[in-house]
Amino acid sequence: MMIPRQLRPAGERVPLPGISPRSSGDKAASAAANLQFPGYLAHWYGSGTAALAAALKLAANRATTTRPEVVMPAYACPDVVSAAVFAGVQPVLADTLPELPWLDPVSVERSITRHTVALLSIRFLGLPSNDQALRRMLGSDGPLLIEDHAHAFPLDMQVRSSADLVVISFGRGKPVSLRRGGVLLQTLGSTAANALPPQPADRRETGVRRLTHQANCLLYNLSIQPAVYRFLTGVARVPVDAISYRELTELEPFPHRLHRLLPQAIDRHRSTGRWREDTIESILRGPDVPWVDVATHSRRMAAADCSTATRTDRLWRYPLLLRSETERDRLFAGLWQQGLGPSRMYRRLLSEIPATATYVRSGAHPAAGDFARRLLTLPLHSDVRKRDLLAMRNCLDQFSEVFDQTGRTALHRSHKGARVAD
């Protein structure tokens, strides 16, 4: 009998500490100490949010204004607002480009004032970004360009960005996951080095802390197993893709024990092939499909803009835009019912989330709002099997063959029977 499964939307199992002998742990610690991002100086923190807050504090400290502001996308994770609030920087929202998560340079230019100390660009879902266009707009003497690699990690450790500061997160569900931790990368030779707030010292490792961390890692790895995840989501009293606002209260240190586990987490990320991504891309292809393949669209736009981003950054989830919020929710329900791990991500703009709306300055952002209402993502993690991809294809086939109100076939799929890779 087949055990019922529910794929999680994203995330891999985290490395388990304390399993290897001490000598192996020492080797891992040595390997972690040698981890480098060429061209960057690394500053380590207890979370990606803390690393972003440190970047914003740096931007504020080097400016002369007493009312620092950061321009950021209107559609983003609430954690970016938490980082700005902690840093004492006013979040100012800007619109995105149509059918893309990229900041719209025209909207950004309208949002910049004499108080703007930074522009925050987000490498959403591992997609390319328009960092080159933003860099040209800001120039060398303007506000700092910060790029949050919230959903991206460079497989070869070569960070491809024209930003002044880059933030990478190792939180739960991230491409390289340790359940917590983040790093702020600062370009070598930067004149802003002395504006960075002091790095917090790591707390003393105790037996209780070590055992607690081990237990939490074991429980987390168990909870994301497809069979267990199905049970947990079945008894949960909150929506499966609910987004919460978490207040940042301190710049936590990056625990030494996580340094020992980081090389293993990176190797796990590297070992996950791209065949799932390539298969979904082929499934979505067609001339009259009722969605936009955001991954393909963004790569074409990045190539046209000569962006520094390439496919080196593997996708975290596969994004598509449906024609409307109603159609998005209907496809989401169908995929979720079959245990296929779809997600609608944040669903609302930062100005529409009660917990963040009070902190942001916002205007009209039609493109970002349209993106939020239409976005659906498909999972790409290691628990996605060939049979899951076949089920996704069948579900998408059925969805696209729905009749319109006049009784005619609304759309015809050309990819029917698309091959699913082994």
Strands 165-169 and 182-187, by their bridges, are antiparallel
Q: Which residue bears the tokens 């909870």?
A: 223
Residue ranges per structural domain of the chain:
273-400
pLDDT at residue number 187:
87
CATH number 3.40.718.10 given to 273-400: no
Burial of 305 (0-12, 13-18, 19+ CB in 10 A): middle
pLDDT value of residue 422: 47
CB 67 within 8 Å of CB 200: no
User: What pLDDT, on a 0 to 100 scale, did the predictor assign at position 420?
Assistant: 62
pLDDT at 238: 58
Quick one: which of 243, 194, 262, 259 has its CA closest to 348? 243
Judge residue 192's burial from the number of C-beta atoms within 10 Å of its C-beta, 0-12 exposed, 13-18 middle, 19 or more buried: middle
Q: Which regions of the chain are under pLDDT 70?
A: 1-3, 18-34, 190-195, 200-205, 237-241, 306-312, 403-422
- In this predicted structure, what is the pLDDT of residue 29? 46
pTM of the complete model: 0.89
In angstroms, the CA 70 to CA 225 distance is 39
> At 303, is the secondary structure helix, strand, or coil?
helix
Residue-wise pLDDT tens digits, 105-118: 999 999 999 999 99
pLDDT at residue 164, as a whole number: 93
